[in-house]
Copies of this chain bind each other. A is one copy, B any other.
Amino acid sequence: MRQLSTQDTDFEQQLKDLLAFETVNDVDLLKTVDDIIAQVRHDGDKVVLALTQKFDQHPATTIQELELSKQSLAEAFDSLDEKVKSALTTAATRVQTFHKRQVQETWQYEDELGNRLGQKVTPLDRVGIYVPGGLASYPSSVLMNAIPAKVAGVTEVIMVVPAPNGVLNPLVLAAAHLAQVDRVFTIGGAQAVAALAYGTKTIPAVDKITGPGNKYVAAAKRAVFGQVGIDMIAGPSEVLVYAEGEAHDRADWLAMDLLSQAEHDRIAQAIFVTTSSEQLAQVATEIENALAELPKADIARDSLQNRGALILVKDRSEGMALINRIAPEHLELSVDDPDALLDDIRHAGAIFMGRHTPEAIGDYCAGPNHVLPTSGTARFSSPLGVYDFQKKSSIIYCSEGGSKPLAETADILAQHEDLEAHARSARYRYQ
């Protein structure tokens, strides 16, 4: 695992190399995805079924078999072990409680002219949530996507999840039950995105598609953006753990927090930043110790080797600058007084404060969303939230008297934009 120091003469270049990650938008991929979308738009259900049989080896012979009944979701939930049922319920409740605080309300006010201005907030009618299948089929992802939509008041939440060979993680179905998902189709890939964006006879068209997926899903989401809304184009998951070698730090905890990111994926990224070279060495050792016992050591090792780093910074101020430069998806502040750092942090998807807040708690059950901006996009985007499932309409209500001065202003500006009909339309209101 690479060890860097901001004092290295080539640190700048090393950091660039470390952070270099771009979704491959290769021409073949785009063409494949465009073809699939075109086919689904043209032949609907037939193509969706055929591609699901082909790519997922799904045994269904009709499109109807690709929809799961609400009954089957409820059964999946009911047959869970009590301990798991309770954990999942706790997670769902906490996620719901947090997200309720994000609900935006309509507001209006009267200006000094007697005109009324405002912003009307409305939930989306219908959204599609994409849940990856196979290895990365996580019940927590179902909760994190569906609950904000439901809290926002979305009328219908449609979930798609591919079921390779027809097999699904029952916890995913249980989570769909718990989150009150309205309909579930066991489809995936670009064909699922296309079906949700344009609709087929069986699968209803939605207004927005959220949720992570592989490169086909990402390319398809980019292609249908505009026809429907999308959340973001997710890259590999990352964590940045920051510490300052304080007495209460536990190198084994820090190491495991980094590994919990690295075990996700060979291209996941775990970065440790510290002001203490002793601590850096301890964490390196503890990572090796822990790797010896982890079932996914192979994946984690690759991830750390390819994209991980232990970085020594001179002081806190350099640390904060580095964090803002990286704009990590997950940021752990393993320090005695994380509040002292909070003001200086401008860019991060989620900030895990103090030693008792490992990322894993946020992944499952703290309450805030685990769908977070990756690859530095925290510079300009936010965690998935209720605000992604509500939208706004401006309200403008001019009184007869209040309209006149505004109409006069609009008249003048319209004339200078050479828009005579605009000017006349305004003039009617004050002359």
Contact = CB atoms under 8 A, between A and B. Distances in A.
A366 B256 contact: no
Contacts of A409: 87, 90-91, 364-365
A276 interface: no
A55 B270 CA distance: 45
Contact of A396 (B119, B339, B368, B379): B368
A420 B263 contact: yes
A262 to B, nearest CB: 7
**Which among A102, A125, A139, A413 has the greatest number of chain B C-beta atoms within 10 A?**
A413
The range of chain A's interface size is 35 or more
A58 interface: no
**Which among A88, A97, A171, A416 has the greatest number of chain B C-beta atoms within 10 A?**
A416
Contacts of A351: 120, 393-396
A380 B228 contact: yes
B117 A421 contact: no
Interface in A247-279: 250, 252-253, 256-257, 259-260, 262-264
A28 interface: no
A353 B395 contact: yes
A428 B357 CA distance: 11
A387 B364 CA distance: 27
A411 B350 CA distance: 20
Contacts of A347: 122, 125, 393
A111 interface: yes
A34 to B, nearest CB: 9
Interface stretch (A1-9, A60-68, A293-301): A293-301
Contacts of A385: 392
A42 to B, nearest CB: 14
A399 B339 CA distance: 13
Contacts of A421: 256, 259-260, 262-263, 290, 294, 296, 300
A1 to B, nearest CB: 15
A361 B407 contact: yes
A397 B345 CA distance: 15
Nearest to A208: B380
Contacts of A302: none
Interface in A210-252: 222-223, 225-229, 232-233, 250, 252
A11 interface: no
Contacts of A396: 350-353, 357, 361-362, 366-368
A319 interface: no
A139 B414 CA distance: 10
Contacts of A398: 353-354, 356-357, 361, 366
A429 B394 contact: no
22 contacts: A84-B416, A88-B413, A91-B409, A116-B353, A139-B417, A140-B417, A263-B419, A300-B421, A350-B393, A353-B398, A358-B407, A358-B429, A360-B410, A361-B396, A363-B414, A365-B413, A366-B396, A366-B398, A366-B406, A368-B395, A378-B393, A385-B392
A190 interface: no
Contacts of A382: 391-393
Nearest to A349: B393
A424 interface: yes
A118 to B, nearest CB: 8
A290 B428 CA distance: 13
Given A226-B375, A361-B407, A365-B413, 15 more contacts: A22-B227, A25-B223, A94-B111, A120-B342, A120-B345, A125-B346, A140-B413, A207-B379, A296-B419, A353-B398, A354-B398, A357-B396, A357-B403, A364-B414, A382-B391
Interface in A292-313: 294-296, 300
A348 interface: yes
Given A379-B124, A394-B351, A225 B225 contact: yes
Interface string A415-431: 01111111111101100
Interface in A74-96: 83-84, 87-88, 90-91, 94
